């Protein structure tokens, strides 16, 4: 890149240009890696700088007060930048801040965030630090403007260097895609094309890859994707060894002994009797079959507790084990930590005696498998290259995929940073159900199909890692993705019921229906016709023989009816969903925070207004039938044309078949929702609070029977585990929910000494939720507690509205005490907030949902956990309300056990290692004043328990964290009085 550019960074008092102010500006003028000049200045704001910004930037109020005002330096900055392209990380924010202050730039701008999402896939995050770290750039002194500008310059140059690996056609295609998307990066890629053209003496060639792909896709340029025409070798499938040898307990004991095989393979390894007990129980299950429930407390080493016996069984017998998790974090732990530890331990032992089976694990093969829509379908990708890009979101996606295909080995969309609006377009490129016809696919024949490559790897593996969504969707679709297995481990099993509810249920939206009609036929200027009918017509119109002319004529004859039906269908869907939203707003609908929800009971369906929906849907059914018949006409027309005359014949037929299936699924689901409900399903309408858009939802009333019949009973061995499966020491609740009445059970307590490490405190002078003064007293108590702990705190809420109100109320008093207040969805993403408290422990995090589990902050960085309210389900939630009706005592039999499992997950954030020490304070007095409170407390590990006023508890917490036994209030039982 030969142009002079200016890397620019602005530090501000906050993230809102309409309210916040610039406090520092840094700029670096550069050409390539050469710095031409620097600009740096603090800026005096009209208000003080908050503690959070001071801790982030290191800029004090004293420094800011002595700085010049913005308008004094604005002319100098304008003269420095001139008309050079501006480079920045999320540069629109910086330019908006400057514009709000009175300095507007219209220069070309290059956003390193956007550029990195194209050229640097697979990053966990795309902040400046993460991008720079990936590129090997030193980031010392970040969050000061000029140093951030220097880092941005280095990041930009390294990213541009990565384009040198692209062939000419790939570079041109990215330039075109960014042009259609409206991105300013099109200027950058076009400039790179021009520079390469100049270096080539005025012409830019077409690569051999492009020439090959031109034959493949009939696209004018297709770049080095020709590599997908090269056949790949398939791995050999896992075959039974014929061995019947069971896993010996002696093997496990020797491997996990203090001086055993794993002592040198795992950093900080220690012998854990609890982990060994879990291993032995898991081994018995794999040896002889059956079902086993295991609750393994924090610090047990749960994942290794099942992974070692699973691997020993699979390698010894050639009998595949599937391990299912709920979260990506656990999958990463298994694949990046636990599996390498197994293999390292195997390499360190001699293949003799009791440890001989462990030595065999050096040949362990493990594969990660995901659902079909995660994988790019090469057939659909090359088919899409024939059509013009029709929207900015589609063009943004194509720019990312073009660059990504040069390096991906998996074709997994998780490697891409996809914005929400890009996911719809991704699905049209994915290997979704019905889109794949292996017998007719050249990529499948060459083992280049990403989906089948992943499946072949899984077929060759001893252990296959999946998530709950794939495990459940696969059993519902006839096991088309996950290879045959008889041994199953379900980790994070407390999520299985909710995931089964999601997979068996469905959501239907207006846009889904409209997008289906557009996939049939869509006319858009200046592109013309797209969709299955349009693509077929355009493809046939270019063929001149008589048979094809006849086929083309048949499609042309139906075009007017199809166009009219699509328009009527679109307007009909608009009316239907608008009416559903209006109907819901007139009912006593539950406000679920971001949406209103109306459960469809027999009473609701008997409302005269519902009959009108049935009439409207009957009319729409006829229109959908017209579209299905049109697709059949198109299919018959295509079938009359020889493949030699129409190379895309198979692809066009597949698209018609897939679309017909999707239209039929939409029709069936909406018919069930509107007029033919099942007695075994729950139905509700949801209306989004901001958009007013209605959506239709269905969920199963029971999932246990489905899981038992279609999942558990087809396996020889099933092990389900989690840190939270019991309530009051009993597995009864989870047995009932998952249909596991006959399963064996094992509770493995945490090895941590909770009596010494943890304090459970209940504040008993706050009014119950819903009473006057409750929110104010919650806020006051949090301020007292967080001051006592000097930050190092996390507060868990059950609603975002309560979190927002608390954030507003406590921010000022705590920042005056030198404590930063960070709120979820206010001050950043969960990942960003956790990074900030680790970097600056004098902080309190306010979190909902995702913070109740999965957060792992080890050490005294998190010493105080505050639970503002017992996490009971919302009584009017449609699924909860319907299932509650199945119980004699729904509150105690259903609501309380659900809340206890959630409560245990929240409490589990506090003590993450043997060295941790912390206090958990509950601000909901019901835990000590209601009879059910005893169930919450007895479900936790044994720890010291106190109750008292908010002031007394704050004092006790401060004493406890200072390693003193709290003198007041006295330790008491929390068993409620009758």
**Pairing assessment for the beta strands 793-796 and 843-847 based on DSSP bridges:** parallel
Q: In degrees rounded to 5, what are phi and psi of residue 284?
A: -60, -40
Tell me which H or E stretch contains 922.
Answer: strand 918-922
Token pair, residue 565, equals: 């039906």
Q: In degrees rounded to 5, what are phi and psi of residue 737?
A: -70, -35
CA gap 593, 588 in Å, rounded? 15
In the block, tokens 């800029």 appear at 59
pLDDT for residue 544 is more than 90: no
Q: Average per-residue pLDDT in the chain?
A: 90
Determine the pLDDT at residue 142: 60
Contacts 24+ apart (CB under 8 A), 20-25: 20/97, 21/45, 21/46, 21/47, 21/70, 21/101, 22/70, 22/97, 22/98, 22/101, 23/49, 23/53, 23/57, 23/59, 23/64, 23/67, 24/57, 24/59, 24/144, 24/145, 25/73, 25/77, 25/98, 25/145
Residue pair 594/690 in contact by the 8 Å Cβ criterion: yes
Q: Torsion angle, CA of 364/365/366/367, rounded to 10 degrees?
A: 180
CA gap 837, 822 in Å, rounded? 9
CA gap 765, 969 in Å, rounded? 13
Q: What is the mean pLDDT of residues 387-407?
A: 91
pLDDT tens profile 681-711: 999 999 998 899 999 999 999 999 999 999 9
Determine the pLDDT at residue 483: 95
Whether omega for the bond prior to residue 969 falls within 30 degrees of 0, making it cis, is yes
Determine the pLDDT at residue 385: 84
Is residue 588 very low, low, confident or very high in pLDDT (cuts 50, 70, 90)?
Answer: low
Helix (H, G, I), strand (E, B) or coil at 174: helix
Residue pair 921/783 in contact by the 8 Å Cβ criterion: no
In the chain, DSSP finds a helix count (H) and a strand count (E) of 41, 26
Token pair, residue 746, equals: 């094992």
Tell me which H or E stretch contains 329.
Answer: helix 328-333
CA gap 681, 704 in Å, rounded? 14
pLDDT for residue 844 is more than 50: yes
Determine the pLDDT at residue 591: 60
Beta strands in 478-527 (DSSP E): 487-490, 506-509, 522-524
CA gap 797, 774 in Å, rounded? 14
Q: What is the mean pLDDT of residues 888-897?
A: 97
Determine the pLDDT at residue 593: 56
pLDDT for residue 214 is more than 80: no
Reference 519, options 695, 696, 654; nearest CA is 654
pLDDT for residue 215 is more than 80: no
Residue pair 739/704 in contact by the 8 Å Cβ criterion: yes
The better pLDDT of the pair 628, 480 is held by 628
Token pair, residue 419, equals: 């914005």
According to DSSP H, which parts of 21-111 are helical?
A: 51-57, 61-65, 70-81, 91-101
**Which of 193-207, 246-260, 856-870 shows the lowest per-residue confidence on average (mean pLDDT)?**
193-207
Is residue 231 very low, low, confident or very high in pLDDT (cuts 50, 70, 90)?
Answer: confident
Determine the pLDDT at residue 224: 60
The better pLDDT of the pair 311, 650 is held by 311
Neighbours of 718 (CB within 10 A): 24
Helix (H, G, I), strand (E, B) or coil at 742: coil
Q: What is the mean pLDDT of residues 305-333?
A: 95
Is residue 964 very low, low, confident or very high in pLDDT (cuts 50, 70, 90)?
Answer: low
pLDDT for residue 201 is more than 80: no
Q: What is the mean pLDDT of residues 176-192?
A: 95
The better pLDDT of the pair 167, 530 is held by 167
Determine the pLDDT at residue 973: 41
pLDDT for residue 216 is more than 60: no
Q: What is the mean pLDDT of residues 564-576?
A: 96
Is residue 957 very low, low, confident or very high in pLDDT (cuts 50, 70, 90)?
Answer: very high
pLDDT tens profile 138-156: 886 566 899 999 999 999 9
Residue pair 728/904 in contact by the 8 Å Cβ criterion: no
Is residue 212 very low, low, confident or very high in pLDDT (cuts 50, 70, 90)?
Answer: very low
- Is the alpha carbon torsion for 857, 858, 862, 867 positive or negative? positive
Helix (H, G, I), strand (E, B) or coil at 558: helix
Determine the pLDDT at residue 690: 85
Determine the pLDDT at residue 659: 92
Proportion of the chain above pLDDT 70, given as a percent: 94
Beta strands in 528-569 (DSSP E): 528-530
pLDDT for residue 457 is more than 80: yes
pTM above 0.85, yes or no: yes
Residues contacting residue 323 through CB under 8 Å, at least 6 positions apart:
306, 307, 310, 334, 463, 464, 465, 466, 489, 491
Taken as a whole, the chain contains a residue count of: 978
Reference 613, options 568, 575, 567, 667; nearest CA is 575
Determine the pLDDT at residue 610: 94
């Amino acid at each position: 890149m030969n142009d002079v550019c200016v890397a620019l960074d602005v530090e501000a008092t906050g993230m809102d240009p309409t309210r916040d102010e610039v406090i520092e500006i840094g700029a670096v003028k550069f050409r390539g890696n050469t710095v031409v000049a620097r600009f740096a200045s603090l800026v005096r704001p009209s208000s003080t700088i908050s503690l959070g910004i001071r801790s982030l930037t290191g800029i004090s109020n004293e420094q800011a007060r002595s700085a010049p005002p913005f308008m004094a330096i604005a002319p100098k900055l304008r003269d420095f930048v001139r008309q050079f392209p501006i480079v920045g990380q999320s540069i629109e924010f910086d330019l908006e801040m400057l514009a709000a202050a009175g300095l507007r730039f219209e220069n070309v701008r290059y956003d390193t965030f956007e550029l990195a999402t194209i050229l640097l896939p697979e990053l966990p995050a795309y902040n400046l630090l993460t991008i720079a770290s990936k590129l090997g750039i030193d980031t010392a002194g970040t969050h000061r403007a000029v140093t951030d500008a220097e880092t941005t310059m280095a990041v930009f140059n390294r990213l541009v260097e990565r384009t040198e690996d692209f062939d000419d056609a790939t570079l041109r295609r990215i330039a075109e895609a960014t042009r259609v998307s409206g991105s300013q990066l099109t200027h950058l890629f076009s400039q790179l094309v021009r520079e390469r053209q100049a270096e080539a003496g005025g012409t830019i060639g077409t690569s051999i890859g492009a020439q090959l792909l031109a034959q493949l896709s009939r696209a004018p340029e297709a770049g080095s994707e020709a590599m997908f025409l090269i056949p790949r070798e398939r791995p050999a499938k896992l075959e039974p060894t014929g061995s019947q040898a069971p896993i010996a307990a002696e093997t496990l004991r020797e491997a996990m002994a203090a001086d055993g095989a794993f002592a040198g393979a795992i950093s900080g390894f220690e012998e854990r009797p609890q982990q060994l007990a879990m291993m032995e129980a898991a081994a018995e299950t794999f040896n002889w079959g059956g079902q086993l429930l295991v609750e393994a407390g924090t610090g047990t080493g749960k994942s290794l507790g099942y992974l070692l016996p699973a691997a020993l069984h699979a390698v010894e017998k050639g009998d595949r084990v599937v391990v299912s998790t709920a979260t990506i974090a656990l999958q990463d732990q298994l694949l990046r930590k636990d599996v390498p530890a197994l293999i390292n331990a195997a390499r360190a032992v001699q293949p003799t005696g009791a440890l001989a089976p462990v030595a065999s694990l050096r040949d362990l093969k493990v594969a990660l498998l995901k659902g079909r829509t995660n994988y790019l379908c090469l057939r659909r990708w090359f088919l899409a290259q024939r059509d013009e890009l029709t929207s900015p979101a589609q063009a943004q996606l194509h720019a990312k995929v073009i660059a990504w295909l040069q390096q991906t080995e998996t074709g997994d969309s998780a490697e891409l940073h996809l914005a929400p609006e890009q996911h719809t377009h991704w699905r049209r490129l994915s290997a979704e159900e019905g889109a794949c016809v292996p017998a007719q696919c050249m990529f499948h024949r060459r083992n280049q199909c990403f989906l089948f490559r992943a499946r072949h790897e899984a077929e060759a593996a001893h252990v296959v890692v999946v998530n709950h969504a794939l495990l459940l969707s696969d059993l519902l679709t006839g096991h088309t993705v996950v290879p045959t297995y008889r041994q199953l481990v379900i980790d994070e099993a407390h999520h299985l019921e909710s995931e089964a509810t999601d997979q068996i249920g469905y959501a239907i939206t207006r846009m889904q229906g409209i997008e289906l009609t557009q996939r049939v036929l869509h006319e858009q200027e200046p592109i013309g016709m797209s969709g299955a009918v349009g693509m077929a017509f355009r493809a046939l119109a270019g063929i001149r023989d008589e048979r094809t002319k006849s086929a083309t004529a048949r499609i042309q004859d139906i075009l007017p009816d199809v166009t009219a039906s699509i328009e009527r269908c679109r307007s009909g869907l608009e009316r239907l969903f608008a009416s559903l939203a209006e109907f819901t707003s007139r009912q006593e609908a539950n406000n679920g925070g971001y949406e209103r929800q109306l459960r469809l009971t027999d009473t609701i369906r008997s409302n005269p207004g519902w009959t009108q929906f049935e009439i409207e849907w009957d009319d729409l059914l006829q229109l959908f039938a017209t579209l299905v018949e049109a697709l059949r006409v198109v299919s018959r027309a295509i079938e009359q044309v020889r493949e030699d005359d129409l190379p895309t014949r198979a692809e066009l037929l597949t698209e018609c078949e897939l679309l017909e299936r999707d239209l039929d699924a939409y029709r069936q689901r909406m018919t069930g929702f509107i007029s033919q409900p099942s007695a075994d399903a729950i139905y509700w309408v949801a209306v989004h609070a901001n958009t007013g858009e209605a959506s239709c939802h269905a969920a199963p009333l029971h999932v246990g029977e489905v899981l038992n019949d279609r999942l558990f009973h087809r396996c020889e061995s099933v092990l389900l585990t989690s840190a939270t499966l019991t309530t009051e020491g009993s597995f009864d609740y989870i047995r009932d929910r998952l249909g596991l009445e006959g399963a064996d059970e094992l509770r493995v307590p945490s090895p941590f000494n909770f009596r010494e490490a943890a304090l459970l405190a209940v504040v008993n002078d706050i009014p119950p939720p819903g009473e006057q003064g409750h929110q104010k007293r919650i806020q006051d108590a949090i301020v007292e507690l967080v001051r006592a702990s000097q930050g190092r705190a996390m507060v868990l809420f059950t609603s975002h509205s309560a979190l927002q109100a608390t954030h507003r109320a406590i921010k000022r008093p705590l920042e005056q005490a030198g404590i930063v207040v960070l709120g979820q969805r206010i001050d950043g993403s969960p990942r960003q907030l956790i990074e900030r408290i680790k970097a600056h422990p004098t902080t309190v995090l306010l979190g909902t949902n995702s913070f109740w589990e999965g957060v792992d902050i080890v050490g005294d960085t998190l010493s105080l956990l505050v639970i503002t309210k017992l996490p009971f389900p919302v009584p009017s939630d449609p699924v909860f309300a319907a299932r509650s009706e199945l119980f004699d005592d729904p509150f105690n039999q259903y609501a309380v056990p659900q809340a206890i499992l959630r409560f245990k997950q929240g409490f589990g954030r506090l003590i993450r290692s043997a060295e941790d020490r912390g206090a958990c304070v509950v601000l909901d007095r019901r835990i000590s004043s209601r009879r059910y409170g005893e169930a919450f407390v007895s479900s936790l590990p044994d720890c010291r328990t106190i109750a008292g006023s908010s002031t007394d508890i704050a004092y006790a917490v401060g004493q406890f964290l200072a390693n003193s036994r709290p003198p007041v209030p006295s330790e008491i039982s929390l068993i409620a009085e009758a």
